[in-house]
Amino acid sequence: MGRTLTLPTIVITGLGAITPLGLTVEEYWQGLVNGRSGFGPITLFDASAYPVSVAAEVKNFDPEKYMPLKRVDRTSRCIQFAIAASNMAIESARLDMSREKPEKVGVIIATSGMMSIIADEGEVLRKKGPMRIDPLGITKTAPSMVTAQVGLEIGAKGPNTSLNSACASGSDALGIALNHLRLGHANVLIAGGAEANVNPIAIASTARVGALSREKDPGKASRPFDLNRDGFVFGEGAGIMVLETLEHAQERSAPILAELAGAGWSFDAYNETAPDAETQAIAMRMVLQDAGVTPEEVDHINAHGTSTRLNDAAETRAIKMVFGDRAYKIPVSSNKSMIGHLACAAGAAEAVAAVMTVREGIIPPTIHYETPDPDCDLDYVPNKARRQTVNVCLSNSFGMGGQNCSVIIKRFP
């Protein structure tokens, strides 16, 4: 006979966020509920020759406020975002590592590393030869070093994994952490995503694919679900959660913010860049099953909502496939209208927003929304936040290439 496995409840006890809307979770949340745009002209490099001039940059970030100067000198902007947000989440969770078994605390963070540093070092190699390469280049750029540096910072000796599944990565990290905890591989996991993609190579290559908005007015550059949308705006930052089993959280009297109730995955196997609504629907159905939630119980969908022609229409179709007529009654909104697309960190930063939505009973809007699209005909919470009780929030992350991940955040208890 088969054995029924009783899975432990996994809760969220700490949050950290470094975003274009602010350097704390509270600043991020207030920016979202007030419908504030984090967009502006690109300042991190000279973009005058680029077809794209707008990005969502993190402003006034001083890494020395979050880590020793020695670590600052040995890390990249992406890693610094990860360390800062992780320390913030740990403080929020009141997690004292001196009281934890280090082998039962781990780190799982999604990232693409730092492509721009690799490109710069390639130029040094071509012009000056191999002996002039930065000896710390690999430790600053390798995606694995994001989780390694966070693990070093906090002394965590449990599972330590970096991952990249494009725009689904941040949610993937949360889902993988969820299952590690369910299976007893750790008591506590620091999980989320970090990205610093406002750099020449990321902007140029993504613009060439045709995915970025070429709108020069920051007030119109990202318009999820709007008829006149023309692509997304790159953002940067990090979203991190402290996840732990309910039993462990209660043993240490931790603040319990919400429950991470489930995760669902699928892969389009369809096209390198075009999305497939039917496969996106599979991920949503899977997360509902995993979380033990019915379609009728979902109060809000935090959409992937990139502001591209194909994605927004596909996501709308996928939601209708899963929820039927009820899709028209569920508020659907896109944080990317305010923070841009944080790539590998997007799902994690948006999950932080989902936790706050469940806790505060306020649904952030989709801003810059003006003209309805007949192919996108749901309730997108246009331009103004909505006060509403949210017990269950489903958050979507769909990656370029076809990787899909959905997670569910539930009110606790």
Residues catalogued as catalytic = 167, 304, 341
Cβ atoms 405, 254 nearer than 8 A: no
Close Cβ partners of 329 (under 8 Å, ≥ 6 residues apart) = 379
Which secondary-structure segment (H or E) carries 261?
strand 258-267
What are the start-end ranges of the H helices in 34-76?
69-73
Taking the CB of residue 413, how many other CB atoms lie within 10 A of it?
8
Cβ atoms 28, 278 nearer than 8 A: no
Cβ atoms 158, 103 nearer than 8 A: yes
**What CA–CA distance (Å, rounded) separates 202 from 185?**
35
**What CA–CA distance (Å, rounded) separates 130 from 179?**
43
**What CA–CA distance (Å, rounded) separates 113 from 129?**
23
Q: Give residue for tokens 């934890």.
A: 100
What's the number of CA atoms in the CB half-sphere (13 Å) around residue 358? 27
DSSP summary character for residue 38: -
User: Looking at the DSSP assignment, which residues form a beta bridge with residue 332?
Assistant: 301
- 51 preceded by a cis bond (ω within 30 of 0): no
DSSP summary character for residue 64: G
User: Looking at the DSSP assignment, which residues form a beta bridge with residue 234?
Assistant: 341
Sign of CA dihedral 341, 347, 352, 355: positive
What are the start-end ranges of the H helices in 19-163?
25-33, 69-73, 77-93, 115-128, 137-141, 144-154
The SS3 call for residue 194 is strand
